Every structure is written in structure tokens, then in C-alpha cells.
Structure 1
């Protein structure tokens, strides 16, 4: 059986979101500070959740582990981002396990309900990462920084936005499997309430009656063409399925 498209979309986007959020959490570039007084023009500060770095663009020299003299790490947006980004990664990993068990590409049919449950898990992990990223971006200019400096959004913050959006879309796509799961449940309940054996009796009786009535009708004379008009269009080679799975 071909894997449903909603499951393929979810299983592709959710791991990509996990990877982007992991890079966003670990890299120290949520905010870039340039134009620092008393420093060369090509020196920029990169501030993340766990480390502060200084980079000289002309020489590509980088120094991390700088002292937090301005109290950057004690700010509430940074503390909230620390407290939510790591749980978001854990929840995403748990959602991948549930989704893998639900889709079960090695089985004949997927488990729709289990795959659909992984959708809200991914959606929750996307919200857990989107909230701190948006909060940090909102208070970007309010966080401590050297005087008369230029503040810019770092690439880690951009990756956090992208990873959160991918998890939200992937979770929504997998959650659509719940609809198919509900249909399967209703079909099983209907088959249990009305067994197939009870439906075959009347069907056979009706078909037998139709055969009797049909046999009483005179068979019209028809013309048969002895030539095979489809000769040359048939192929003895069996056709191969073009369906591809995940």
C-alpha cells in the first residue's frame, strides 16, 4: 500500500524542523551586535542562549566564552528560550517515534490513529519553540547591549523560525490521518454490527432469481466477427506497478 501523502509530508518536514531547531539552540548567534564603540568596525558580537562570541570579519578570527558584563543571560526572554527550546527538541523526538510506529512503512497498512496522534505532538513542539523565538525577537532591541551599537537578527533566530514553522506544518499534516482513522473505526464497527454472512443470503437469492428470469428471455441473434481486431495491440509482457512508497 502506498504511504498517504499527509504522512509523507509530516515525516519529511518534522525531522527537518528538529534539525533546524537543534542548530538554532546550540549556535551562539541569536543576535549580532556591530558598531561597538572602542572596537574596530569589523568586530561583531554574537549572542546566543549559552555563549557569547566575538568575531573579526577581516581576519575571520573568532573568540567565544566572553564574560557577560551586561547581564544578558539573566534577561527573561533568554531564560524562557533556554527553558523551552530543549523540551521542544525532546517532544519532537518523541513525536518522531510515535509517527514511525504509526506509519509503519514496512507493514501492509499504516496505523492511522497512531500516526494521527503524532501530529498534535509535533504541533505542540512547534509552538514550544515558536514562542521563545518570537518573544526574543520582540525584545531584541531591549536586551542589554553596548551603547551606540547596531543590533541585528542572527542566523540562529532565523533557523528557529523556520524549524518551528516546519514542525507546525508537519504536525498539521500528520493530524489529518485522524480522519482516515475515524473512518476505519466506523467501518470496523459497521462490519461487526452487520456481518458479511448475513448479507450474502439475500444477495444470492436475488442473483438466482435474476438468472431464472434471464433464462426465460429469448436470446437474440448476434453477428460475430472472426477477425481479431485487437491483434498487435496486446503485450505478453506483464506491466510493472509505477507506485513508489516512502
Structure 2
């Protein structure tokens, strides 16, 4: 469970981090006002909407990229986050927490793979548990980043004075959570579950001790008599090994 859930959670959180759909907003925009958002020489005929009086504008923001798209058209433009949104301390906090989470989760998965040692009979329990602990911490950090971002989703980048001086640069959008947030929530929960499984699954084995087999070899793991089963008719013949 830990070996499967931890990498899957890492992939989902990484996917959420690099995609720009953390929040999304839509607004109706008249075709006459679209010219200010288009590059010079771009006409409405290229959008395939020459008979439409208004367009549906979709704005999406992520941690490192923002996009602007006209629905039902091929017009889409993306750019690195900038301005008040980039300088918002809550966005910077989310970026730092996500990057730290990805690093810790990757390190924890490497330690877990070394500790589990599927190619041997006995795992390295301490190493595997340490990897699980790192994965749990990574999941908690990403959950914190997602919680901070979601709680302040509508206010991110909206409190800077420079934003108030250009109130009509973009139409007012009603922002709501987008798909990348859901990927992040799912991946973070899988990280926590996988880390907990690794942390508590490798307990010290309990070997049964039999008073009738005091002459049998001692288990090197738990220092007790090897479990020979319930069969009492076991051949107890001793062999002398000469070197």
C-alpha cells in the first residue's frame, strides 16, 4: 500500500504544481473590447465567432503560470505569473511548500524502496519507516499549501495598490477552484496514507519459542527459536559439521 500510494501521490501533486488550473474565472466580453487583449492584426474572423456579439473569456491561474482563453476558439495565451499575484505572500508560501513537499516525498520514496528490499526476506524496518515519515510530512506540507491557497483563492493578487489603478484592464471574474486543486488534494491524501502505511507496517516479528527445541538454531532477527510448525514428528537429528 505504501509503495503504491506514495509514488501515485507524488505524480498527482507534481501534476497539480505544473498545471495552471488552480483557480478559474469566466466573464462575458464584447467583441469590441476584445481588441485590447489581442495582438495587433488579429481579427475576430480568425476566432470563428464573427457572428457573435460577445465572447466567453476564461482566465486561469496556477502557481507558476496564468492563461487566458476564449471559449470555443483556438485563441489561448499563457505567461509566467507576474504582478501582484506573483508577489502575494500566500502564493509564495504555497510555492515553497509544494516544492518542499515534492523533494521530501521523492526522498522518502527512495528510502522506502531501499528499506523494503523486496528482493530479500527481511526488510530494513528503520529505513522504511523513515521513508514513510518523510512521505507523511510531504503530504501534510502539500495539504497546508492547498488549504492556504483555497482559503484565500478570491483575494490572491487583489490587494495591491497597483491593481486598483488599472481596474478595467481585465473584466471582473468570479473565481472558483479548478482541476489542479483537486489533483493536489487527492495526491496529498494518497501521500499521507502511503506514508502512514510505511511507517507502521514494519513491526518487529514475533517468533514463537518452544521449550522442546532448545538445541535448535536461534533466529538471528528475534533471537528466539525458529518456528518449526505444529508438527511434533519433526526429525530432531543433529548433524556435526567439520571444517
Tell me the TM-score normalised to structure 1 length. 0.66
- Spell out, residue by residue over 1:42-74, the C-alpha distance to the aligned partner (whole angstroms, 9 max, x if none): 2111111111111122114321117745x1111
Equivalent in the alignment of 1:102: 115
Change (3 A) 1:29 1:104: same
Change (3 A) 1:165 1:103: same
Out of 36, 40, 63, the position equivalent to 1:49 is 63
For this pair of structures, how many residues does the alignment match? 182
The answer to whether the 8 A contact 1:36-1:149 is kept is no
Equivalent in the alignment of 1:166: 190
The answer to whether the 8 A contact 1:34-1:41 is kept is no
Matched, 1:149 2:173: yes
Out of 195, 204, 210, the position equivalent to 1:181 is 204
Which of 1 and 2 has greater Rg? 1
Q: Counterparts of 1:56-71 in structure 2 under 5 Å?
A: 56-65=70-79, 68=82, 71=84
Change (3 A) 1:148 1:108: same
C-alpha distance in 1, partners of 2:14/2:67? 19
C-alpha distance in 1, partners of 2:222/2:180? 52
Equivalent in the alignment of 1:131: 144
C-alpha distance in 1, partners of 2:205/2:88? 46
Matched, 1:32 2:24: yes
The answer to whether the 8 A contact 2:10-2:187 is kept is yes
Residue 183 (structure 1) shift:
5.5
User: Which piece of structure 1 moves more, 166-175 or 152-161?
Assistant: 152-161
User: Which piece of structure 1 moves more, 122-131 or 144-153?
Assistant: 144-153
Q: Which consecutive unaligned segments of at least 5 residues does structure 1 have?
A: 1-8, 197-206, 208-246
Matched, 1:140 2:153: yes
C-alpha distance in 2, partners of 1:124/1:28? 25
Change (3 A) 1:67 1:93: closer
